[in-house]
Structure formats: C-alpha cells, structure tokens
C-alpha cells in the first residue's frame, strides 16, 4: 500500500493564486483589483451626468427657440392686425371721400339743373316775346291789308297796280290813302297793303267800316 498522501485536485486560477500567496500579498492583490475597477464606474456615472446635461441643454435650447418663434409669430400677427386696421381706416377715408364727391356731384347736378331750368324759362320767355311781336306785326299787317275782289285788272306792273288801287279807293270810298304794296291774286283779286289811311276823311264811318272788314268787293271791271 502506498503511503503517499492523496493529491488534491487543482482548483481555479484564483484558488491557485490564493494558495501560492501569503495573506499580505492577497490583501494587496484585492486592493489593486478594487482600484482597477473604480475608474470604469466613474466613467459610467460621468457619462450619465453628461447625457442628462446634454438633454437639459437641448430642452433649454428648444424652449428658447420656441419662445423666439412664438414672439416672432406674435409680432407678425400684431403687424398684420396693424396693417388691417390701417387698411380699414384708409377704406373708411375713401368711402367718406366718395360720399363727399357724390354729394358734391349731386349738388352740382342740382345747380346745373336749376340753371338749365332758369335758362329754359328765359328761352321760353324770349320765344313767347318773339311770337307776341310777330303776332303783333301780323295783326298790324292784316289791319293794314285790304282784299279787293270783283275787279278785272290788266296791269302787270306792281307800281301801276298800286297807283290804280289808290285812285279806285279814292273814287269808290272817297278815302285819301297811300298804298305800300299791291299784288294780284288771279284775275279778280288783289291784296293791298296800306302805308297810311290818309288822316282825316270826310266820312270817318266809311273809313272805320273798311278797316274793320278789310275787304272791298266791286262787281264790275275797273279801268284806269
């Protein structure tokens, strides 16, 4: 029988190190392991803090940008409202100006119409006066005209006819007259325009009768 001691199985590397080292070396070794792990944890912690700071900074920038955008939008809205108010104000001025111009035009039209009515009345008045004068002249001409009928006259010259009519009126009516014009109308009619009736007549009744009738009829031919 073999008297040698049984061999123990070899453990892990850590166990082998522990078996081969003294207690003091083991303490130093453990301390070095702790020191070697600490920087990694600090880096992780610092990285987390850096990420949080970045997120906070991003949020601050976002809020700042949002506030600036909102402020810009408010300014634009304010400017738009101001422009709209100014446009409304200008439109009101234009409407008021148009109303004043319309009022002025209506007033001008009314004035022109009144002047036209006045001028029209003046024209009508002048026309009426002219018509009255013409009517008066016509009445005067008619009053001074005599229509002599029933006389066969061979005279073709107006001056000879005027002289013959003066003699006929003087003989037939015993009136001294002055003939202005005498015109034949056919063979037995003559229009005589009197220049004057000769003033006083021996028989004023006969003169008045001739002026009233303005017509003399003689039933036989008249010869000079």
* Angle, helices 204-213/158-173, rounded to nearest 10 degrees: 130
pLDDT at res. 137 = 73
39 falls in which pLDDT band (50, 70, 90)? low
pTM of the model: 0.34
* Spatial CB neighbours of 90, under 8 Å, sequence gap ≥ 6: none
Q: List the beta bridge partners of residue 192.
A: 146, 182
User: How many percent of the chain have pLDDT more than 70?
Assistant: 59
Q: For 82-156, list the strands marked E by DSSP.
A: 145-149
pLDDT at res. 201 = 42
pLDDT at res. 81 = 92
pLDDT of 184 higher than 90: no
Q: 165-178 pLDDT, tens per residue?
A: 888 877 777 777 78
CA atoms lying within 13 Å on the CB side of residue 164:
21
Selected residue with higher pLDDT from 133 and 50: 133
């Amino acid at each position: 029988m073999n008297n040698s001691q049984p061999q123990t199985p070899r453990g892990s590397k850590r166990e082998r190190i522990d078996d081969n080292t003294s207690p003091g070396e083991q303490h130093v070794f453990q301390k070095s392991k702790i020191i070697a792990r600490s920087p990694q944890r600090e880096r992780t912690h610092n990285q987390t803090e850096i990420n949080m700071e970045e997120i906070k900074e991003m949020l601050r920038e976002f809020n700042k940008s949002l506030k600036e955008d909102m402020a810009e939008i408010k300014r634009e809205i304010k400017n738009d409202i101001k422009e709209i108010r100014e446009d409304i104000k200008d439109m009101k001025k234009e409407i008021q100006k148009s109303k004043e111009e319309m009022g002025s035009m209506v007033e001008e039209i009314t004035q022109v119409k009144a002047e036209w009515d006045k001028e029209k009345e003046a024209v009508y008045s002048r026309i009426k006066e002219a018509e009255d004068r013409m009517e008066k002249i016509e009445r005067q001409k008619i009053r001074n005209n005599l229509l002599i009928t029933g006389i066969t006259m061979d005279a073709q010259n107006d001056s000879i006819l005027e002289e013959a009519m003066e003699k006929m009126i003087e003989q037939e009516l015993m009136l001294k007259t002055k003939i202005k014009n005498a015109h034949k109308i056919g063979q037995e009619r003559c229009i005589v325009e009197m220049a004057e009736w000769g003033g006083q007549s021996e028989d004023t009744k006969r003169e008045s009768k001739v002026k009233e009738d303005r017509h003399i009829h003689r039933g036989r031919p008249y010869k000079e």
